[in-house]
Amino acid sequence: MAEKPIQGEKRVFMTGNEVVAWAALAAKADIMYGYPITPQNEIMHYWTRMAPKYGKRFLQTEDELSAGFTTLGGVLAGRKAFTATAGPGNTLMQEPLSMAEMMRIPSVVIIQQRGGPSTATVIYSQQEVTMTTYGGNGEGFRIVYSTANHQELFDYTIKAFNTAWKYRFPTFVLGDGYQAKMRESLTIYDPEDRGIELVKTEPFIGKEPVNGEKQPVHIRNTYNTEEELFEVITKYLEDYTRITPEIIEHQEFDCEDADIVVVSHGVVSRAAKGAVQELRNAGLKVGYFRPVTLRPFPADRLRAVADGTKTLLMVESSLGQMAKLVKDAIFGSTVAIATLFKPGVGVTSEEIVTKVKGML
Amino acid sequence: MTMVPQMPKSWRLETKPHKFCPGCGHGLVLKALGEAIDELGIQDKVVFGADIGCSLLAWDFFNVDTVQTHHGRTTPVVTGVKRANPDVICIAYMGDGGGYAIGSQHLVNAAARNERITAILVNNCNYAMTGGQMAPTTLPGMKTETTPYGRDIKETGYPTQGPEMVAAITREGSYIARGTIANLKQLKSFLKKALENQMAGNGFSFVEALSTCPTNWRTNAKDTWAFVEKEMTKYFKVGELKNPAAKEGE
Amino acid sequence: MSKTVKIALAGEGGQGVQSVAEIIAEAANEEGREALYIPNFGVEQRGGVSVAYLQIGTEHIGSPKFQKADIVMALSDRAVKRTRQYVDERTTFVYDTSIEGVEEELPKNAGRILGIPAIEVSKNELHPRVFNIIIMGAVIKATGVVSEEEARAAIEKKLGYKFEQNPDLRELNFKAIARGMELVEKAQ
């Protein structure tokens, strides 16, 4: 078997899907399960080319239900297992992922959002926010990182495995078709060389007997009574609330004296950043806020920002799926709300600049 | 002196008596399976997956590692386990609705890929847990909650013949059989061979077990038994369809 | 170069616009500049116009696609129609002069419109297989995003293994770059 997949630090120029495959290798993922869907296919393509060299495995399943459930099986066996999907595949995957929520199975899923509803486009959108954060029948006990560039795609894919296994909640890296297919530079590295400790895995089932004694485990997602379920959910909520401050991440600048704060996430935040910088250079009081974790949401900080400004301008490639999370987070604030929603379509800096100038 | 019924060693005593309805065949299938596990000495190596439906009630049945999954999804869950850890012996335990309707694509594709797992499917001709609706295995003319005037094959097609279907799509290495709770000795031998086939790394193994559901059939003991022995076997032929070991031995 | 240069390349499938964009992006990246390249993809790419979006600058690139390009290069009738939307008064619009009857379709609002006979040159003078390399020469001349040397190095990196077997091929490719640059120079 070859040694570490990544030696030292390396500046590379590649597509986002290739980045994810490298990151999964760097995170020492053991097995990927997957089903073809655009725009995530090349994650599987790169994984199946590289993985065997490092003793890793792959299974192509019959659909995303199966890709999701086999991933859960792999995790239950104590392996770092992951899958990737998009659009209608994400819809199917909500079933296994609700099981992951109920059973606290640390699965890792990469989502490359495409247009919706239905088959729509295979290209791009930010329309899988609601589904990825709160999909399935459940309460959204999940962790969702929304990345904006290839460096983050690499960093957060590695982080997703650690977060999942540390906190035992299903964890998602929410990318999109643009990030999947575009090429740009980033630095790839071995996380342990950088001092990032990789969280150890352990089997839920199929454990070796200890001192010759096997202690069988029985795990389930079905409960007999309402009270029994309530107790479990209450405990999960306590856990989730307790760890939220450790998990939430956001970025902001120029919010202190801003009259308008532009709120965006994922790839759209690239455009927002450029726009806010340009507007500031023009002497306009505009700020930038970007939630990196969409679930849990950096609610307290955004609430404070909302209270200190006049208007939040929410920009996203959907009809307000992020905006719902924002409004929930700032409930009670009297800040004005403006929107620039382009469902299934990219947003450029120029559009945001024009929008803001029209508001001032 | 009270008689203590003999239980397989791999059964979990704390959860007995079990929760299946009186006259239900699940207990017998699980007894045959428990004895097969005992005789093969694999209790510590088994990962048992339980589907939704009445098979769900098997989730705490054995003293083996058990994961209860979703309706129809036990096959992919244990496939995922086996692919990630080939050292364990994986059993997917499901009903006819789980295996032949909502999870049929998983059964078909696991079989086609020759997954090294053992699927056990209990056929009682209806969706029992949800109150007795038509299942893929409901016999022609049979009354259920959703076929109150009897299953009309012109409307709903013929019952699924699972082992025959699986036999048609598998190649070498698969073990396929249909047993019945009316012949527990034979059923146990089928289950044992199915597990041995997995342990030998040959390929997919599949056993359908004809079973009873007096609660939903609304039959007394005599009629229940007559139905499984006479009516079901007219349509569902009992026996081995594929056995890699037999070929080598003969 | 302080500003990010935005380039849209469009052509029919097989004209190689995607590989041109990729090679230029990689060449710029090799030089330590920031580059972002994204193809149009999806159902449209099958039998549709192939568009490559390329941005090169000194700082991190913003959104992957853009509204208006600095340079648009359109290599077919359909490509001209498809890329008019990326043109404004600051755009240089380059098209191939062998596209018949396209004059009416050209974006009148473009800052500059340049017609180059790249298809003809590739057919009659060099070789059809280096058509995309001629285009690459034209792009780097029109944009200045990478130098001729850098472009040569990038091609060497990409096709070096072929050049080993057939050194004439190297000559042909390098000539194609130079010729592409020349075409733009003359058209200006």
Which residues of chain A neighbour B45 with C-beta distances below 8 Å? 206
pLDDT tens digits along A187-217: 999 999 999 999 999 999 999 998 989 999 9
Check: CB of residue A34 under 8 Å from CB of residue A7: no
Encoded tokens for B69: 């999954």
Q: C48 in contact with A at a CB cutoff of 8 Å?
A: no
The CA distances from residue A65 to A70, A89, A157, B91, in Å, are 8, 8, 22, 19
In a domain? residue B14: no
Smallest CA–CA separation between A241 and chain B, in Å? 27
Task: Count how many domains chain C has.
Answer: 1
C42/A178 Cβ within 8 A? no
Residue C38 structural domain? 5-187
Task: Count how many domains chain B has.
Answer: 1
Q: Who contacts B18 (Cβ-Cβ below 8 Å, separation ≥6)?
A: B26, B27, B30, B57, B61
A153 in the same domain as A17: yes
How many C-beta neighbours within 10 Å does residue B56 have? 23
A268 in the same domain as A189: no
B43/A205 Cβ within 8 A? no
- Domain harbouring C90, CATH code: 3.40.920.10
- Domain harbouring B40, CATH code: 3.40.50.970
Give the model's pLDDT for residue C1.
38
Smallest CA–CA separation between A182 and chain C, in Å? 4
In a domain? residue B214: yes
Any contact of B with C, at least 3 CB pairs below 8 A? no
Beta-carbon-side half-sphere exposure of residue A254 (alpha carbons within 13 Å) = 22
Beta-carbon-side half-sphere exposure of residue A220 (alpha carbons within 13 Å) = 17
Give the model's pLDDT for residue C66.
93
C39/A181 Cβ within 8 A? yes
A83 to chain B: closest CA residue: B80
Residues 164-223 of A with CB under 8 A from B: 203-207, 209, 214, 216-222
Give the model's pLDDT for residue B40.
98
Smallest CA–CA separation between B142 and chain A, in Å? 31
In a domain? residue B170: yes
Q: A228 in contact with B at a CB cutoff of 8 Å?
A: no
- Amino acid identity of residue A195, one-letter, is G
Rg (CA), chain B: 17
Residue A274 structural domain? 250-359
Which residues of chain A neighbour B62 with C-beta distances below 8 Å? 216
* SS3 of chain A: CCCCCCCCCEEEEEEHHHHHHHHHHHCCCCEEEECCCCCCHHHHHHHHHHHHHHCCEEEECCCHHHHHHHHHHHHHCCCCEEEEECHHHHHHHHHHHHHHHHHCCCCEEEEEECCCCCCCCCCCCCCCHHHHHHCCCCCCCCEEEECCCHHHHHHHHHHHHHHHHHHCCCEEEEEEHHHHHCEEEEEECCHHHHCCCCCCCCCCCCCCCECCECCCCEECCCCCCHHHHHHHHHHHHHHHHHHHHHHCCEEEECCCCCCEEEECCCCHHHHHHHHHHHHHHCCCCEEEEEECEEECCCHHHHHHHHHCCCEEEEEECCCCHHHHHHHHHCCCCCCEEEEEECCCCCCCHHHHHHHHHHHC
In a domain? residue B124: yes
Question: What pTM did the predictor assign?
Answer: 0.94
Give the model's pLDDT for residue B250.
45
Residue with the bigger pLDDT between A22 and C14: it is: A22
The CA distances from residue C131 to B73, C92, C102, C183, in Å, are 53, 20, 20, 13
Which residues of chain A neighbour B105 with C-beta distances below 8 Å? 62-63, 65-66
Q: Which stretch of DSSP H or E encloses residue B92?
A: strand B89-95
In a domain? residue B242: yes
In a domain? residue A212: no
In a domain? residue B9: no
In a domain? residue A266: yes
* Furthest CA-CA distance within chain C: 47
In a domain? residue A32: yes
Asked if residue C14 has pLDDT above 70, the reply is yes
Which residues of chain B neighbour A207 with C-beta distances below 8 Å? 65
Last residue within a domain, chosen from A194, A220, A239: A194
The CA distances from residue B241 to A170, A291, B110, B178, B190, in Å, are 41, 58, 18, 8, 11
Q: Who contacts A263 (Cβ-Cβ below 8 Å, separation ≥6)?
A: A289, A290, A291, A302, A312, A313, A314, A315, A322, A326
The strand order across the sheet containing A286-291 reads: A250-253, A286-291, A260-263, A311-316, A336-341
- Domain harbouring A51, CATH code: 3.40.50.970
Which residues of chain A neighbour B47 with C-beta distances below 8 Å? 77, 205-206
Give the model's pLDDT for residue B249.
46
Residue B220 structural domain? 21-249
Give the model's pLDDT for residue A2.
58
Q: C174 in contact with A at a CB cutoff of 8 Å?
A: no
The strand order across the sheet containing A57-60 reads: A57-60, A31-34, A81-85, A108-113, A171-176, A143-146, A293-295
A64, A218, A228, A232: best to mutate for the B interface, most B CBs within 10 A: A218
C29/A13 Cβ within 8 A? yes
Check: CB of residue A75 under 8 Å from CB of residue A168: no
B59/A220 Cβ within 8 A? yes
B66/A218 Cβ within 8 A? yes
In a domain? residue A24: yes
pLDDT tens digits along C151-160: 999 999 988 9
pLDDT tens digits along B79-94: 999 999 999 999 999 9
Dist CA C1 CA B34 (whole Å): 75
- State which residues of chain A have pLDDT below 50: 1
Give mean pLDDT, residues B206-219: 97
Which among A74, A209, A219 has CB closest to B80? A74
Give the model's pLDDT for residue C101.
87
The CA distances from residue C12 to C51, C73, C133, in Å, are 9, 12, 15
Which among A38, A177, A349 has CB closest to C62? A349
Q: Which stretch of DSSP H or E encloses residue C162?
A: helix C148-165
Confidence bin at C41 (pLDDT 50/70/90): confident
A265 in the same domain as A124: no
B68 to chain A: closest CA residue: A220
Which among A30, A63, A207 has CB closest to B84? A30
How many C-beta neighbours within 10 Å does residue B235 have? 14
In a domain? residue B3: no
Give the model's pLDDT for residue B3.
64
Give the model's pLDDT for residue C46.
65
Which residues of chain A neighbour C43 with C-beta distances below 8 Å? 121-122
Smallest CA–CA separation between A313 and chain B, in Å? 42
Q: C42 in contact with A at a CB cutoff of 8 Å?
A: yes
In a domain? residue A148: yes
A205 to chain B: closest CA residue: B65
pLDDT tens digits along C65-123: 899 999 999 999 999 999 999 999 999 999 999 998 888 999 999 999 999 999 999 99
Confidence bin at C141 (pLDDT 50/70/90): very high
Smallest CA–CA separation between A39 and chain C, in Å? 8
Give the model's pLDDT for residue B5.
67
- Domain harbouring A340, CATH code: 3.40.50.920
In a domain? residue A234: no
In a domain? residue A176: yes
B11, B13, B70: best to mutate for the A interface, most A CBs within 10 A: B70
Subunits next to B (3 or more Cβ pairs <8 Å) are A
C40 to chain A: closest CA residue: A123
In a domain? residue A224: no
Task: Count how many domains chain A has.
Answer: 2
Asked if residue B248 has pLDDT above 80, the reply is no
C62/A185 Cβ within 8 A? no
Q: C61 in contact with A at a CB cutoff of 8 Å?
A: yes
